[in-house]
A and B are shown apart, each in its own frame.
Chain A
């Protein structure tokens, strides 16, 4: 007998891809992004995963192309190391151990042998500093990089809040309502601060910063949706800024185009805005990007833009603001109410995705296969709004039918049971029946009768509810020839037991018996006559789960 090995957890996918700004390789053939402990390389043309760079033992926080060899890549991680990769071949070249948690990484062409990282200040909680790390050129795989010199104190931990100016002449960093600019050559530090709130109730807190690639101009994003363009900031007093305002909420990231003629901004509106020449009047939009834009980056030749979204998606956009490609990872829904369900047809994992959607996630390729809109209502991005949410999902044995339950809780409960039919032609689910208020209270469980026959008339769905009943739903064939569809679902039987709440349901393997649990009691019913066969009492507590 083999001794049981220690349990080993392998993280294989589903990690957030918006941990750091994604980077395009030279020529914009590949897109490199941090995803959990890995760096993933996707092909821009096919959106397929090409390379997986594994080696870090904690979250990757920064990805930067090596400034002097564009086929190499630096990555930083919370594990305190900077790794240099040959990303086309997926080879780890060097590991530099810094010894601090690295929160952001910046590599500049002007500083040949050092990179900039943000590390926590030792001894103080929640204070961070920007330091430059000297990377020794000596041979060998593992290096110690202990030569740190502090550039700026009191910076924000987010990589968006620090940016380097044209040719690395200065660095700008924002925190709360303060902007600090450090000029490397002059060794001059200028600080500018705004009032926390203005008279009209705006919130002046900085959220992100970007520097013009060729001019002395800094763009900052603010919590009230304003973008300020700072100029003349080498003067402590005669600095000036102009304001661009379109976003109604936080500006989450900013990026200048290659020549600096236009500025890209993104926020929770999930609209990419392109501003031209710093003018308030000329701007272009790419709307309906799905969810809040976390990062914006631009390829080195300026042909592609890339936005990382909070729902674990990367969108590649052409420079004329045409949507090009999307790479969708596992969406982390706010609350996975459906639990984990496997689609029998595609073997994909099915769970809550975007609000009101059901996502089909492929475990093998760590990619979302598709997303099914169940609620079919516009989701409004506003806190404190009760919106319909998907709570229960069940598949029939072959995956031909899908049953979903959505609920919305305002003053009273709104429930909808929807039955979807898999359309072979379009290869997607089509809504067949919509039943509003199938139960008077929350639906607790739902299952199909798993019979091997393909006939529809033997198919059966049981739902249990807190209104103390379980309901059996069957397919009816519509005899009216003018009806749009011949099949529809309707209620066949309503059962109850001593007005206990029905909590779980389950069919026997051959489908002849149905077990329904009512709090502490299991009842067994004959599925052809709906007679109560027997009951089992399970006194110690309520039944949580049941299966055959």
Chain B
């Protein structure tokens, strides 16, 4: 694939925020996930677990509970005391209603999604009606007892609510609002040893069993009507934090603060007998820290921890055939591009949740052989740190190719800076009079001549702003899709000649606009999967699109149709190993000197796709391996020629946040080693291990 001088960047100190809570929507197969910094993400399981939506966090808006209600509406509640409905089309909190009960610790929606119950700091449980069309309305207060309500669960029939507090569980009658049962979880412990027992999570089964997990590491099964303990399992010496029940109520999953998750199954005691018992079956240790949220889907156990990992562990016995859904999946890094690169100026802009960092790449004057590490003549330099003002987190950012413009947007503000390089010193000036646009911006993209800035906005629109020397800007035009859409644009690509702009909105439509006439040019035929990255080839003006099901398409913009190569690839199909990769491609770049080479990368690999070579044929027996470069190098010459294929894969750089070609000989990769992330996390719960 040719040799590259690689800038191996490891100074992007990104620490993803831990997972706080999750909610799964069974019909749409979507998982909503809230992080400790208040960010909310939606993963679409139908589109290969792609992170479809991301709503950046807010300093004062923590999310303690999430739930889906009334179909596809997402609600969150947190310590600010508000119930927030999220606008998943415009990717921002839409409405907030004060719960008037202090910080909200828990929230649950009933089975038909018409009512929300919240558990508050002051011990009250309040019911809210989900208003069709938007918002929630206070309905009534249930019986209040002292002690914060940490967890809530509805009986599937909707007549009763179970609420877990410190040291006790209450079952509330929804109709009368009275406490129907109060269970002390700690009554078996002798008084002298009594410690506070926090009921962290609770589940109410239709059979009338209440399952609780508590800070003593116990999972307990209660008969709510009699208030008696049916079964108790100690799963951990530290707390059992989270609990989720399958839809059929025959399996539960428990997450503990030691990072382990356990599955319990309701199994018949004797084959064919009626008597069934909950048995702890499988333990999984995928996390290093607290597992704060678990979800049980029909085919998988999903857990999210404070180590920022989202783990999807399929249940082998429920998966029909081996394939994409049968593999264990771990997501730590977001499926978004947080790095932008000024190719000409050799600058990298890193986006953190509340600030930006501008770095100049190091350089070397030595040359070496393949695999050698070259000594640096100039060290990489941290040029600039831009702190965003206010509590809002950054949605998107970009640096222009010449390196003299930096733009970023938060939920309510858009900032544009002019960066002046004078020798080694650098000065930043805020550009005054930025046009008042509809905010937030979801994606920013600079034209390759740094003359224009494209701002992705909601309802499918893209604003074109002209950047003026020495530090000004002018709104030129707003591009809108002809048919209109409610979804926001989340990806942009502009052509090198400045004539074309491609924009992807949340409904996965790819629109191409002509920038010469500010006119809609064409729409790429719709495909049933989310677009993860796209780019326009600098010479041929072909639009290269990668989808979350790992398919690759090439669309000729001038001819308004798929190219011959793209059709050939679709006819023969891609290799199985390529299709079964875990993570989506997040960036596409082109080799300016070799028109047939395309650079793609995901978290675990970097691939140079050479369109002039044949694609590896998917053999009927699937035995063919997708040989990567390091193994190819060891093969003999004829074998290598036989194995030669278009996908030149390099797995040397992992986990990869960003990779781009600076020029035809120079590659920059941004890695974030998992060890560096875990080093920044607090120490995990001490566990004794045999032999240590």
Please list the residues of chain A having a beta carbon within 8 angstroms of any beta carbon in chain B.
Answer: 166, 169, 183, 214-216, 231-232, 234, 237-243, 248, 278-282
Contacts and interface: CB of A to CB of B under 8 A. Distances in A.
B631 interface: no
Contacts of A241: 281-282
Nearest to B273: A216
Contact of B283 (A183, A239, A243): A243
A279 B234 contact: yes
Interface in B220-271: 233-235, 237, 265, 267-271
Contact of B280 (A237, A238, A248, A278): A278
Nearest to A246: B690
A248 B690 CA distance: 8
Nearest to B318: A238
B317 interface: yes
A240 B282 contact: yes
A231 B233 contact: no
A134 B270 CA distance: 29
A232 B270 CA distance: 9
Given A240-B282, A242-B279, A234 B317 contact: no
Contacts of B690: 248
6 contacts: A231-B281, A232-B267, A240-B317, A242-B279, A242-B283, A248-B690
A166 B690 CA distance: 35
Nearest to A235: B317
A216 B269 contact: yes
Which are the 5 A-B pairs with shortest beta-carbon distances? A240-B281, A281-B234, A234-B271, A238-B317, A242-B281
Nearest to B263: A240
A5 to B, nearest CB: 61
Contacts of A243: 283
Nearest to A200: B285
Interface of B: 233-235, 237, 265, 267-271, 279-283, 317, 690-691
A231 B317 contact: no
Contacts of B283: 242-243
Given A166-B270, A231-B265, A282-B234, 4 more contacts: A232-B268, A240-B317, A242-B283, A279-B233
A183 B265 CA distance: 23
A310 B279 CA distance: 35
Contacts, number: 49
Nearest to A239: B317
Contact of B282 (A234, A238, A242, A279): A242
Contacts of A279: 233-234, 280
Contacts of A169: 271
A237 to B, nearest CB: 5
A215 B280 contact: no
B226 to A, nearest CB: 22
A78 B126 CA distance: 76
A517 B140 CA distance: 107
A282 B265 CA distance: 20
Contacts of B267: 231-232, 240
Nearest to A166: B270
Interface of B is mostly: strand
A202 to B, nearest CB: 12
Contacts of B265: 231-232, 240
Given A240-B281, A242-B279, A279-B280, A216 B317 contact: no
A237 B281 contact: no
Contacts of A166: 270
A216 B279 contact: no
Contacts of A239: 317
B664 to A, nearest CB: 41
A214 B271 CA distance: 11
A166 B270 CA distance: 9
B19 to A, nearest CB: 24
B238 to A, nearest CB: 12
Most central of B233, B281, B690 by chain A CB within 10 Å: B281
Contacts of B279: 231, 240, 242, 278
B413 to A, nearest CB: 49
A281 B219 CA distance: 13
B348 to A, nearest CB: 36
Contacts of A237: 317
A33 B267 CA distance: 38
A197 B280 CA distance: 23
A391 to B, nearest CB: 34
A232 B268 CA distance: 7
A242 B280 contact: yes
B219 to A, nearest CB: 11
Contacts of A282: 234
Nearest to B218: A281
Nearest to B264: A242
A238 B280 CA distance: 15
Contacts of B237: 281
B282 A216 contact: no
B688 to A, nearest CB: 12
Most central of B237, B269, B270 by chain A CB within 10 Å: B270
B96 to A, nearest CB: 43
Contacts of B280: 242, 278-280
A183 B272 CA distance: 13
A269 to B, nearest CB: 12
A122 to B, nearest CB: 34
A216 B234 contact: no
Nearest to B277: A215
A166 B233 CA distance: 25
Contacts of B234: 279, 281-282
Contacts of A280: 235, 280
Nearest to A241: B281
A216 B268 contact: yes
Nearest to B316: A237
Contacts of A214: 269-270
B102 to A, nearest CB: 36
Nearest to B279: A231
B271 to A, nearest CB: 5
A499 to B, nearest CB: 51
A241 B281 CA distance: 5
Nearest to A230: B281
Most central of B268, B271, B282 by chain A CB within 10 Å: B271
Contacts of A231: 265, 267, 279, 281
B233 A216 contact: no
Contacts of B235: 280-281
A231 B269 CA distance: 9
Nearest to A167: B270
A214 B273 CA distance: 12
A243 B279 CA distance: 12
Contacts of A281: 234-235, 237
Contacts of A248: 690-691
A279 B265 CA distance: 14
A437 B691 CA distance: 36
A184 B279 CA distance: 26
Contacts of A238: 317
A215 B271 CA distance: 8
B271 A216 contact: yes
B62 to A, nearest CB: 33
Nearest to B285: A200
B269 A215 contact: yes
A245 to B, nearest CB: 8
Most central of B268, B279, B283 by chain A CB within 10 Å: B279
B256 to A, nearest CB: 12
A237 B235 CA distance: 26
B631 to A, nearest CB: 22
B270 A215 contact: yes
A281 to B, nearest CB: 4
A279 B270 CA distance: 19
B528 to A, nearest CB: 30
Nearest to B236: A281
Contacts of B233: 279
A240 B277 CA distance: 14
Most central of A237, A239, A280 by chain B CB within 10 Å: A280
B165 to A, nearest CB: 25
